[in-house]
Structure 1
């Protein structure tokens, strides 16, 4: 392959543009710059320090904590030293942490700043070497990053590994069961990198904003890998409370988000500018242009040439709402198992409701049962230490089974129609695909999260949580809106698919209460478990349309 691996790219940038700033780390609101030359020195020093620990070649070394400059540096140092990185989410259950570190036989771990640091540290298996990043909020560790780098000579004699070598293990957060370690080789990354550069070439100085978890393949590939190939500046979010403040400071040229983030953008705009007033202003030609520019600048998206959304379906009404403000969001599709290299909508070729067309070299097909399948060089070779699950992952002729159902239109655009495993059967013996119905009802801006359930029920029921704006409204107003939207959605459905009623949950769904995965996907099985009694109690009453927990 002609493309260099990430370590080689760092060395190239450090040689060609040593003083160019690459990483910007906020500390107490002040941006600390790291040039390519400074990053190279840090990576070389840490690579030497890791070798001094005496770990066998190919040992697994984990990286934890929220997104920081040192997350990138640790990842590159691990690769330079000939080891394999394992990413951990900053907010992950102790059981998941223990399982991943044990399953991967991780020998050492870089510890970054995170909430609940004590709980995290208690889950790290005894004997694992702990190296602390130089930030506040890091637990007690065996070594400190700065001390190790200062005491080490720069690593010399880096040898380019074979493309078949494992670069990283990315553990899927999973909506059910234990996480699975997806094997990503250097060759997988290079193929995806080449395709990305071809489909979405750089334009001048690129600037990225890193805030989605780096343990997820989406952020890792789009931001970390992307930045080192584009030579893009990367600004890290200091903490979630500062998102609305720091995103406008950065004003990235490419922005990557999940539907929940774009939904929060909408809620923030409507809080300052109610819908009726916004509609009125957008009808006035000169004022409309000024309003759009002001809103985009306030959000920090005025420079964004690409606005991507992934990880979950984006409701079409939300995409249309943002498009009225000249915010054109591009839905893409991928999974950890194909290195997030599958399909994407692109500027000038954005088809709402679809997840775009296949990326360069990404062969795609729809199986007889409707499952979307892929075959290309970025697809994983399988799951780490799990031959049984690996065998289930592929068809007999070697195609990756995504578990998603879909269709491809005449122009090659892919539409996701549901999950093969999410489809449930009601007591009437009828099958229901919940995803499209959830997507349709999600246009109600009073809803934050929702989950359509029907196993063991005569008629499916929608469970929702309210947005911050919805929670402030009178119940009667919210209820009227929910019923109106439910009736509108039901008018498009078969009888057995119709929403029988809506249950408004009292508590928000979070990672902490185990309803959401670290990538902000709803765990359907946990919703059914948590609200089982409530469903059983209210399902027989066909007259009530909205139930408040």
Structure 2
């Protein structure tokens, strides 16, 4: 793969070739304020000087927290320019994980970004860690201030490009179980994944990116931050999650990425304004259909999007087909932190719904004899920080990364069939793989989140939350629709896999209540633990649909 300049060098390049062009658009009370390439480079240089003045040793760890902002990017680049290693922290990260990550990574400095849980977060910071506050109203008070440091220090001019195998960042997995693991991502990893991604999805004209998924995750870092530096693309940041629908419409990005839940909620927003029966009628009228599709795509913020990607969890095929009818081609991809999210993806003109696409250029895809998906490329991590045992377990004897996912390849397309270790055993002693069954039932638009559980039960039960549309319907109508899909899915399953019933729970699962990771993956063990008593009660009743007390809709 052709060698490329690193992110710091690319920032310098754009600052020189188009200094007055806007790069970062930071929202403030609904208004986007631009920061040019030259302005960003000047701040990065001065912050690199400020960090160096603290006397940190080469390779020292410097952490970044808070919501996605222009200063997140600039801090990351200043850390790299100064010769240090960045460590990202998720918004609303569990307090014990904040403490653990900062201590485990030996971070000496922490940038404090805007956040809604400032008091809890600050209390979790070890006393020895120095703090620098970003200039935002909702950023917690720090020992030092970004603007003051930038004003007080000269530009850093002694930048030394790192060697390919030097550590670029520590990315702590959001993990559904146990303590986060520090994934060691090297300079080579970053460059290889970025170059390969842009080779598979080349730019066409001016690119505009929308930054809203957590920057602590490798996916957003690669797909938005690193890609913007390679492409010279604009980046527009989300102000807060409540404004997602509004601001993506304002931005109209050329590339858009989301988890399945984002697309489920987009669908719900459309159907709230235009019920399915009426939508179907309009789509059958040729001229009206064209106008409706164009209006919907613009209303979603996807009128200019050449690449609309979904990842992190399986996207229901029915939902992908539903968007395709509207002229929105959603491309399912696959990757993990350990391979820099560089694995497989469907592409325009080569989109096999139900699969996670073909191998990205040079990703090194392979299926082991027992069906596990493996990868080997320059995008694969150096290992887990301070954990030789888990690093050894993560690789095969010939150096392939174990994903923990099972899959098969058909016509070059990868299909994920389950998790190697995600099986559960029912009270009958039978093993069940939950992911394919969850995916099959997720086609029902009345359901939002699903978790199939069965440890200790005679027959597995599907726990689920309702979508916004589902919560607005009468209970009898919801039950009728769910029973129909339940019976249809069960008809395809072995007797021990069949869903005994669907139980609708009251609360949406999220980061706040500990039910999902920051990347919206459901923590199966947490869900199972929280609803243990409910599961036992519902298992004793023969009805096909159960309701937690207080869940909606009402009968």
- Give the TM-score, by structure 1 length: 0.99
SS of aligned partner of 2:496: helix
The answer to whether structure 1 residue 100 and structure 2 residue 84 are counterparts is no
SS of aligned partner of 2:63: strand
**Residue in 1 that maps onto 2:383:** 382
**Residue in 1 that maps onto 2:402:** 401
How far apart are the structure 2 equivalents of 1:22 and 1:508? 36
SS of aligned partner of 1:496: coil
How far apart are the structure 2 equivalents of 1:240 and 1:451? 24
Deviation at 1:444, TM superposition (A): 1.0
**Residue in 2 that maps onto 1:217:** 218
The answer to whether structure 1 residue 4 and structure 2 residue 2 are counterparts is no
**Residue in 1 that maps onto 2:423:** 423
How far apart are the structure 1 equivalents of 2:117 and 2:200? 40
How far apart are the structure 1 equivalents of 2:39 and 2:507? 46
Deviation at 1:197, TM superposition (A): 2.1
How far apart are the structure 1 equivalents of 2:56 and 2:280? 62
SS of aligned partner of 2:266: helix
**Residue in 1 that maps onto 2:174:** 173
How far apart are the structure 2 equivalents of 1:157 and 1:65? 29
Alignment of 1:80-99 (within 5 A): 80-99=81-100
The answer to whether structure 1 residue 502 and structure 2 residue 506 are counterparts is no
**Residues 5-27 of structure 1, C-alpha deviation per residue, up to 9 Å, x if partnerless?**
10011011111111111110011
SS of aligned partner of 2:198: helix
Deviation at 1:31, TM superposition (A): 1.2
How far apart are the structure 2 equivalents of 1:314 and 1:249? 26
The answer to whether structure 1 residue 186 and structure 2 residue 190 are counterparts is no
How far apart are the structure 1 equivalents of 2:492 and 2:317? 16
How far apart are the structure 2 equivalents of 1:194 and 1:278? 41
Deviation at 1:41, TM superposition (A): 0.2
The answer to whether structure 1 residue 545 and structure 2 residue 544 are counterparts is yes
**Residues 10-60 of structure 1, C-alpha deviation per residue, up to 9 Å, x if partnerless?**
011111111111110011112111111111100000000000111111110
How far apart are the structure 2 equivalents of 1:159 and 1:171? 26
How far apart are the structure 2 equivalents of 1:2 and 1:469? 49
Deviation at 1:447, TM superposition (A): 0.6
How far apart are the structure 2 equivalents of 1:196 and 1:422? 29
How far apart are the structure 2 equivalents of 1:426 and 1:245? 45
SS of aligned partner of 1:470: helix
SS of aligned partner of 1:495: coil
**Residues 163-201 of structure 1, C-alpha deviation per residue, up to 9 Å, x if partnerless?**
110000000000000000100000111111221121111
How far apart are the structure 1 equivalents of 2:130 and 2:385? 22
Deviation at 1:494, TM superposition (A): 1.1
How far apart are the structure 1 equivalents of 2:311 and 2:367? 21
Deviation at 1:430, TM superposition (A): 1.7
Contact 2:64–2:87 (8 Å) recurs in 1: yes
Contact 2:367–2:373 (8 Å) recurs in 1: yes
Contact 2:83–2:160 (8 Å) recurs in 1: no
How far apart are the structure 2 equivalents of 1:242 and 1:200? 28
**Residue in 2 that maps onto 1:292:** 293
**Residue in 1 that maps onto 2:360:** 359
SS of aligned partner of 1:184: strand
SS of aligned partner of 1:97: helix
Alignment of 1:144-543 (within 5 A): 144-409=145-410, 411-541=411-541, 543=542
SS of aligned partner of 2:383: coil
How far apart are the structure 2 equivalents of 1:315 and 1:115? 32
Deviation at 1:540, TM superposition (A): 3.4
**In the comparison of the two structures, how many residue pairs are matched?**
547
**Residues 198-241 of structure 1, C-alpha deviation per residue, up to 9 Å, x if partnerless?**
11111110000000100011111100111110111000011111
How far apart are the structure 2 equivalents of 1:39 and 1:510? 34
- Give the TM-score, by structure 2 length: 0.98
Deviation at 1:404, TM superposition (A): 0.3
**Residues 440-460 of structure 1, C-alpha deviation per residue, up to 9 Å, x if partnerless?**
101111111010011111111
How far apart are the structure 1 equivalents of 2:322 and 2:233? 30
How far apart are the structure 2 equivalents of 1:201 and 1:62? 32
SS of aligned partner of 2:256: strand
Deviation at 1:334, TM superposition (A): 0.2
Could you tell me which runs of 5 or more consecutive residues in structure 1 were left unpaired when the two chains were aligned: none
Contact 2:332–2:356 (8 Å) recurs in 1: yes
How far apart are the structure 2 equivalents of 1:298 and 1:32? 23
How far apart are the structure 1 equivalents of 2:539 and 2:422? 20
Deviation at 1:336, TM superposition (A): 0.1
SS of aligned partner of 1:269: helix
Deviation at 1:538, TM superposition (A): 2.3
How far apart are the structure 2 equivalents of 1:406 and 1:193? 25
How far apart are the structure 2 equivalents of 1:141 and 1:427? 53
**Is the deviation greater in 468-477 or in 212-221?**
468-477
How far apart are the structure 2 equivalents of 1:370 and 1:157? 50
How far apart are the structure 2 equivalents of 1:345 and 1:538? 40
Deviation at 1:537, TM superposition (A): 2.1
